Amino acid sequence: MARRAGNQRMKVLKFGGTSVGSIKAIESVLGIVQDNLQRGEKIAVVFSAMGGFTNQLLEMGNRAARNEDYRDVLKKASDRHLEVINHFIGPRFRSRVIADVMTLFNELEDLLRGVSLIREISPRTSDLLVSFGERLSTTLVTEILKDRGVDCAFLDARKVIKTNAHFQQAEVNFELTNHLIQHHFAKTKSLQLITGFIGSTEDGITTTLGRGGSDYTGSIFGSALNASVIEIWTDVPGMMTSDPRKVRNAFTIPVVSYAEAMELTHFGAKVIYPPSLTPAFKANIPIKVLNTFDPAHPGTIVTRQAPRHEYIITGISSIDNLALVNLQGSGMIGVAGVSAKLFTVLARYDISVILISQASSEHSICFAIDPKYSEKVREVIETEFSNELRTGDLEGVEIQEELSVIAIVGEGMRRHTGVSGRLFSVLGKNGINIVATAQGSSELNISVVIERKDLSKALNVIHESFFADQVKTLNLFLVGSGLIGKALIRQLEQQEHYLRKYKNLKVRFIGVTNSRKMLFDEGGISKEHWQERLDTEGQQADLGYFVEKVKSLNLPNSIFVDCTANKPIVDYYEGILEASVSIVTPNKTANAAPYDEYARRHRMALKKGVKFLYETNVGAGLPVINTIQGLIASGDRFQKIEGVFSGTLSFIFNTFRPGLRFAEVVREAKAKGYTEPDPRDDLSGQDVARKILILAREIGLELDFEDVEITPLLPENCQQAPTVDAFFGELEKSNAVFEKWVNDADAKGEKLRYVATLENGKIQIGLKSVGADHPLYPLEGADNIISFTTKRYHDRPLVIKGPGAGAEVTASGVFADIVSIGSYLS
Ligand SMILES: NC(=O)c1ccc[n+]([C@@H]2O[C@H](COP(=O)([O-])OP(=O)(O)OC[C@H]3O[C@@H](n4cnc5c(N)ncnc54)[C@H](O)[C@@H]3O)[C@@H](O)[C@H]2O)c1
Ligand SMILES: N[C@@H](CCO)C(=O)O
Ligand code: NA
């Protein structure tokens, strides 16, 4: 239809300060405007001041009022505007446009001079001052578009938006304003480019519209013109599920209700300021939030009706820094007036309350405020409630600082149970303390006050939990990059794709140390090139520092993996668990420590709700510990545990034959990765002792090393050798001793097995020669065999058998523990 344009509805576009803040941004804006025109859209466009300029104007005003120099700032600002002209405007119009803009700057300078003469800046002058921002930016874009041949005109909103004289936050006279806007648009066909943020009184005195002012302008024009849509163009792709600077996985919310947008904004989401959109909502005009720097992105649509979301919640918002005021006292019980008086008093002093929570005992009331009001609030309460404080009806004012509030927001929460349960549980699992909570009765938001240091961690875990198909990230810190450590990283690298696809899990490798060097990278260390990076970029290893760093980074879902055989390291475990970091380890030292110490660590993990996992302490990757835990949990009772618990000794006695040298066989076991870093830990029986002690404790026995009876294997000279090398030398010397064992057994057709038994609360370990009919006879390679006789497995024991040492099988056990933490956290 030829006359389509006649009844076609208008679109109102509004560009924020960042959209006109640089040449590149203005380039995008021009593209968006011209695209619309080419598509035949009927549009009107509102502009903010160039990013940062409004603040500069205010700064210049303050300087002038103090009679300080402001010309450097003024010069920078005019240069910035001239730069835009020089870039965009062709030679034909350039000097005229420069002259126009310089006229505005001269006017601005006159005003500033006036301010410095009278040494004061009133709200009225301040409004006039900041109006230059929008007038200049809009003038620039108008001239550029004219230069490009677009039929357009500059519209100073002061001509049509009429307000009262409440400067800095003027109220609009909608009747008059709507009439003037409609009248203006009826007269013109040109594209109107409109100054945001400003209006004027009926007498023509400049006013400004307060917070979110240019959005408000867009909304006023949109409703007056009955626009089909209002597009708010900014520098982010719409409203996001959380602040993307704090939550890497945040994503754009496609549709949000007006009420949700209000809640999100109240708690810190700064993309739009919904109250400024009220006129549009009253007129039921949808709002789109779009990204100037990515115009193809669909952004966010803000609608009046509650949309159906894919997730239970719509978004997570937060306020970084707040203080919590707690008022307590028996005088509050049943006395209706106290809270009424409290909030009336606060309102009178212009102190806005961010959140309120009152326990049903009515014994205390607590509310959150901006910490800048802390002292004032204390003063106000102490004065206004001095009677109650004197009589003891109120006990006093307590103010806690360094807090943050997080709000989960969404209309979908109304239809769901267990939302707050999930919120509290995910925070609990990450050791985040909840200081206070509040839930609006609209069920549109649940807020939790937490310590400020935990904010980023909390936002991330909540985000992961509620946007469940989002990949969960585990943050890994590895100590010990020897045999097991290396194999583990390799396996994590190989399985990266699998974990993501089938477990929704990403293991980010944040820190690594061996005994020489250490390296951290919060962005993640590549699992392919970690070794080169550690060698070249690593700093000198310092375990204490490493542990402190793990704690202070305070990342969500942190796991500390100890792949050393180091003893002192376990002294750090309790503190690590206390910091809500899980531990996974093949190192047996911690669980074989004196019982008190052992119990303390396990209690700490329980208390903090984090995991301490060590499946590989016994039988490497074989499922020994998990099996015991399963049986115990299901109520089974253990009568006897018996088996071969040493991969090294199993291999040695399966390999050693008359004619071979014992030392050679031990060397081979070491080369195959079966032995402890010091093979004497295996040959002395210590390693086996630790393992069976660990199992004894798993089944609930409070045993210690003294309760283990070991028949020693090694002659004293081997055991006492000062170094591992010297030890091998001593083994060579003692070959006759070992040969005799094996010759004796061989002569009887038997095999040697290093057996550990736990029965009647007693542990015995020693070498046995067993015949072909014995259940321990058929072992091969580095196999372990472990049999459980229990109340349920009574006639025939439950037997676990298979390779019980070696880098790959051990690393895979560590891997499985890490993955199980991922599932626990989900
Ligand atoms: N090898 C196996 O089959 C097996 C099976 C189950 C459990 N384990 C256990 O796995 C652990 C590791 O064994 P491995 O064979 O990989 O040993 P390894 O000697 O190859 O590696 C130990 C690593 O720990 C590092 N390390 C030692 N002290 C350190 C410190 N204070 N700070 C930082 N790093 C330190 C070393 O630099 C080295 O990178 C041991 O506790 C062992 O008992 C091994
Ligand atoms: N050195 C140990 C490793 C497994 O814990 C063994 O030989 O069994
Ligand atoms: Na195991």
Q: What is the CATH number of the domain that holds 90?
A: 3.40.1160.10
193's torsion region: left (phi>0), alpha (psi -120 to 50) or beta? Answer: beta
Residue 616 near ligand 1, beta carbon < 6 Å:
yes
The answer to whether residue 277 sits within a structural domain is no
Do 614 and 633 lie in a common domain? no
- Going 656 to 658 to 663 to 665, the CA torsion angle's sign is negative
Do 439 and 484 lie in a common domain? no
Q: What is the pTM of this model?
A: 0.70
The answer to whether residue 276 sits within a structural domain is no
Give the pLDDT confidence score for residue 333 in this predicted structure: 61
- Three-class DSSP category at 803: strand
Give the pLDDT confidence score for residue 264 in this predicted structure: 86
Distance CA 733, CA 512 (A): 40
Distance CA 477, CA 479 (A): 7
**Range in 38-42, 254-258, 319-323, 360-364 with the lowest mean pLDDT:** 360-364
Q: % helix / strand / coil in the chain, to the nearest 5?
A: 45, 20, 35
pLDDT band at 8 (very low <50, low <70, confident <90, very high): confident
Residue 685 near ligand 2, beta carbon < 6 Å:
no
**Range in 71-80, 239-248, 260-269, 712-721 with the lowest mean pLDDT:** 260-269
611 is catalytic: no
pLDDT band at 550 (very low <50, low <70, confident <90, very high): very high
Tell me the percentage of the chain whose pLDDT exceeds 70: 97
Which residue's CA is minimally distant from atom 25 of ligand 1? 480
The answer to whether residue 299 sits within a structural domain is no
Residue 675 near ligand 1, beta carbon < 6 Å:
no
Do 612 and 753 lie in a common domain? no
**Residue 821, domain CATH:** 3.40.50.720
Instruction: Compute the mean pLDDT over every residue in the chain, rounded to the nearest whole number.
Output: 92
The answer to whether residue 736 sits within a structural domain is yes
Which residue's CA is minimally distant from atom 2 of ligand 2? 675
* Ligand 2 atom having least distance to the Cα of 669: 7
Do 402 and 486 lie in a common domain? no
Do 90 and 144 lie in a common domain? yes
- The more confidently predicted of residues 350 and 669 is 669
* Domain's final residue, options 182, 206, 235: 235
* CA–centroid distance, residue 787 to ligand 3 (Å): 13
Structure tokens at 282: 């009253």
Do 182 and 326 lie in a common domain? no
**Residue 689, domain CATH:** 3.30.360.10
Residue 569 near ligand 1, beta carbon < 6 Å:
yes
Residue 615 near ligand 2, beta carbon < 6 Å:
no
Most informative mutation of 477, 564, 617 for ligand 1 (most atoms within 8 A of CB): 564
* CA–centroid distance, residue 482 to ligand 2 (Å): 15
pLDDT exceeds cutoff 90 at 710? yes
The answer to whether 396 and 389 are in contact (CB under 8 A) is yes
Which residue's CA is minimally distant from atom 7 of ligand 1? 586
Mean of the pLDDT values across residues 450-466? 93
Which residue's CA is minimally distant from atom 15 of ligand 1? 483
Structure tokens at 285: 């005009």
The single residue listed with the structure tokens 């469940």 is: 468
Do 565 and 654 lie in a common domain? no
Do 555 and 656 lie in a common domain? no
Q: Which residues contact 730 (CB under 8 A, 6 or more apart)?
A: 715, 717, 718, 721
* Domain's final residue, options 466, 492, 520: 466
Residue 131 near ligand 2, beta carbon < 6 Å:
no
The single residue listed with the structure tokens 């949990």 is: 633
Do 461 and 354 lie in a common domain? yes
Look up the domain containing 324 and give its range: 315-466
- Three-class DSSP category at 418: coil
Which is the catalytic residue, given 457, 472, 691, 751? 691
Cα→Cα distances 285→65, 97, 219, 281, 306, Å: 43, 36, 9, 6, 15
Give the pLDDT confidence score for residue 442 in this predicted structure: 66
- Going 288 to 290 to 296 to 301, the CA torsion angle's sign is negative
* CA–centroid distance, residue 785 to ligand 3 (Å): 11
* Ligand 2 atom having least distance to the Cα of 676: 1
pLDDT digits 0-9 by tens, 640-683: 999 999 999 999 999 998 889 999 999 999 999 999 999 999 99
The answer to whether residue 750 sits within a structural domain is yes
Residue 646 near ligand 2, beta carbon < 6 Å:
yes
pLDDT exceeds cutoff 90 at 135? yes
Residue 648 near ligand 2, beta carbon < 6 Å:
yes
Number of domain units in the chain: 4
- Three-class DSSP category at 752: strand
Mean of the pLDDT values across residues 32-59? 96
pLDDT band at 262 (very low <50, low <70, confident <90, very high): confident
The answer to whether 800 and 666 are in contact (CB under 8 A) is no
Most informative mutation of 512, 546, 560, 563 for ligand 1 (most atoms within 8 A of CB): 563
Distance CA 584, CA 815 (A): 9
The answer to whether residue 536 sits within a structural domain is yes
Mean of the pLDDT values across residues 127-141? 97
Among all ligands shown, which has an atom nearest to the Cα of 675? 2
The answer to whether 370 and 268 are in contact (CB under 8 A) is no
Residue 301 near ligand 2, beta carbon < 6 Å:
no
pLDDT band at 530 (very low <50, low <70, confident <90, very high): very high
Do 12 and 76 lie in a common domain? yes
The answer to whether residue 490 sits within a structural domain is yes
Give the pLDDT confidence score for residue 4 in this predicted structure: 44
**Residue 373, domain CATH:** 3.30.2130.10
Which residue's CA is minimally distant from atom 4 of ligand 2? 805
* CA–centroid distance, residue 804 to ligand 2 (Å): 7
Mean of the pLDDT values across residues 518-522? 95
Q: How many CA atoms lie within 13 A of 89 on its CB side?
A: 24
Which residue's CA is minimally distant from atom 8 of ligand 1? 586
Residue 687 near ligand 2, beta carbon < 6 Å:
yes
The answer to whether 220 and 184 are in contact (CB under 8 A) is no
What φ, ψ does residue 404 adopt, rounded to 5°? -135, 160
What φ, ψ does residue 417 adopt, rounded to 5°? -100, 165
pLDDT digits 0-9 by tens, 372-423: 999 999 999 999 889 888 888 888 889 999 999 999 999 888 877 888 889 9
pLDDT digits 0-9 by tens, 287-335: 999 999 999 998 999 988 777 777 889 999 999 999 999 988 877 665 5
Do 610 and 658 lie in a common domain? no
pLDDT exceeds cutoff 60 at 3? no
Do 486 and 358 lie in a common domain? no
The answer to whether residue 1 sits within a structural domain is no
Complex ipTM, two decimals?
0.94
β-pair type (315-328, 355-358)? unpaired
Strands (E), 704-750: 708-710
Which residue's CA is minimally distant from atom 29 of ligand 1? 515
* CA–centroid distance, residue 797 to ligand 3 (Å): 18
pLDDT band at 787 (very low <50, low <70, confident <90, very high): very high
Give the pLDDT confidence score for residue 1 in this predicted structure: 32
